[in-house]
């Protein structure tokens, strides 16, 4: 009996010791110091460049389905390698706009499940603005601190950054987050018609959304962007001979001129609304009264309600016609909603500044003023109270240019380090 009791006590001690070892192992990531994180990040630099080269060498214009599917496979494989549950989604819920293609590339979604409570979302896009065949004029190359390549700043660097941040967490055996959800879409450059709904819905219950568009030359973070809209005005008239019997026609160009004149002052500097008519066409032959005319306007807004108001105004204005027999119609699109600053974003951005200043000795500017260019971060912020930060990607310049896109090599380590540290900090807070 005494022997049995002794054995039981020994077994209990062993079980307790084993439990302690397991608990310590599970929480080992808490012990990772900034210096240890930095060392692992530094070891990622060369492999990051190799991943970036692979991505740049895949031509993946927004309408290049072959290239986008190839990109999706590379990204999906890399996400699986870091332990994510991966799905490749062909979206059928599409917000169709004037330039939306019939079919679009896939969305890659990866989810890593940890043992904490934080919900973190990371987004970047796989598509570029370029046509197939342009890679030969802008190949991947390293020239000192500048790394060139087709689509390298917008947004191949962002895709690679997310993959290597996750690889850093894996090497650190860090699992104190709740979930990390990655979304990589194929239609950002055409206003995300197939992915906007998924981005918005996924972001709704997140604590943090990190968007990896480039940080510009200075690596600035952005907490606000302008919304982008478009208005399409169409006039249908009636053709006739301009010299023999012009009165038999209905001049669509005349009506178009009238409509633009009465809708040219809809901008409002008090709210930041900007509406500018930028494209127009009418007629094909000098001596024929034009039967068709059309115009397009670029619209920017800082508030969703301003888009709603301007659409209503446009529909009211077109009722006032100069030529009663003309047919006037207008269509309004929300290309991207605005991204507004919230307190959670400010707080997280302040933490990012502290990390850059105190741990990397690098100044970091955070922009609270909306910029003209919209991104997918805005879709993430539509229905979410998450801290949304744009510009988490590397420093560089030359986006949408045919021969000058580049990233700055010395921004690789700071940016991978910043994203990793923010994930750790957010997870610890939760």
Which positions are catalytic? 127, 188
Of the candidates 144, 6, 4, 34, the residue with the CA atom closest to the CA atom of residue 417: 34
**Measured distance CA(308)–CA(225) in Å, rounded:** 18
Sheet of strand 366-367, all strands in order from the earlier edge strand to the far edge: 85-89, 107-113, 179-185, 119-125, 208-211, 387-390, 221-222, 366-367
185: which DSSP letter? E
Q: Report how far Cα 396 is from the mean position of its chain's Cα atoms.
A: 16
**Measured distance CA(274)–CA(372) in Å, rounded:** 10
Instruction: Give the list of residues 6+ apart from residue 183 with CB closer than 8 angstroms, or none.
Output: 107, 108, 109, 121, 122, 123, 195, 198, 199, 202
Cβ atoms of 413 and 34 within 8 Å: the answer is no
Cβ atoms of 381 and 203 within 8 Å: the answer is yes
Structure tokens of 416? 């991978």
Find the DSSP H helices in 59-99. Answer: 65-81
E strand map for 244-326 = 274-282, 292-301
Of the candidates 111, 294, 135, the residue with the CA atom closest to the CA atom of residue 205: 111
Spell 372-384 as b/e; 16+ CB within 10 A means b: eebbbbbbbbbeb
Q: Is 236 exposed, middle or buried (0-12, 13-18, 19+ CB in 10 A)?
A: middle
């Amino acid at each position: 009996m005494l022997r049995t009791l002794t054995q039981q006590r020994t077994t209990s001690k062993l079980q307790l010791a084993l439990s302690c070892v397991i608990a310590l192992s599970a929480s080992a990531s808490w012990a990772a110091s900034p210096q240890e994180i930095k060392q692992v990040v530094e070891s990622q630099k060369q492999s990051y460049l190799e991943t970036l080269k692979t991505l740049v060498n895949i031509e993946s214009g927004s309408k290049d389905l072959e290239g986008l599917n190839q990109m999706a496979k590379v990204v999906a494989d890399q996400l699986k390698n870091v332990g994510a549950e991966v799905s490749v989604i062909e979206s059928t819920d599409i917000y169709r706009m004037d330039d939306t293609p019939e079919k679009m590339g896939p969305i890659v979604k990866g989810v890593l499940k940890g043992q904490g409570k934080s919900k973190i979302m990371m987004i970047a896009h796989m598509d570029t603005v370029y046509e197939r065949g342009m890679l030969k004029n802008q190949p991947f190359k390293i020239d000192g601190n500048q790394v060139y390549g087709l689509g390298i700043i917008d947004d191949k660097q962002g895709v690679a950054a997310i993959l290597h941040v996750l690889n850093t967490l894996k090497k650190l055996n860090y699992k104190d987050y709740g979930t990390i959800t990655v979304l990589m879409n194929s239609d950002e450059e055409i206003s995300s018609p197939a992915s906007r709904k998924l981005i918005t819905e996924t972001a709704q219950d997140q604590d943090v959304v990190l968007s990896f568009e480039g940080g510009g030359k200075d690596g600035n973070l952005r907490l606000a962007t302008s919304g982008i809209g478009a208005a399409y005005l169409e006039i249908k008239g009636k053709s006739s001979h301009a010299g023999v019997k012009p009165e038999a026609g209905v001049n669509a160009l005349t009506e178009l001129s009238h409509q633009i004149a009465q809708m040219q002052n809809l901008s409002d500097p008090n709210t930041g609304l900007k509406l500018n008519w930028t494209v127009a066409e009418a007629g094909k032959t000098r001596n024929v009264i034009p039967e068709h005319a059309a115009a397009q306007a670029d619209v920017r807004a800082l508030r969703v309600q301003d888009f709603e108001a301007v659409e209503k105004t446009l529909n009211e204005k077109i009722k006032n016609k100069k030529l009663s027999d003309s047919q006037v119609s207008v269509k309004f699109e929300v290309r991207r909603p605005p991204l507004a600053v919230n307190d959670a974003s400010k707080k997280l951005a302040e933490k990012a500044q502290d990390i850059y200043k105190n741990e990397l000795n690098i100044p970091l500017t955070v922009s609270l003023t909306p910029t003209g260019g919209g991104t997918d971060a805005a879709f993430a912020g539509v229905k979410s109270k998450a801290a949304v930060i744009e510009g988490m990607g590397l420093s560089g310049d030359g986006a949408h240019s045919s021969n000058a896109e580049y990233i700055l090599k010395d921004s690789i380590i700071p940016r991978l380090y910043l994203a990793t540290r923010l994930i750790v900090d957010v997870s610890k807070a939760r």
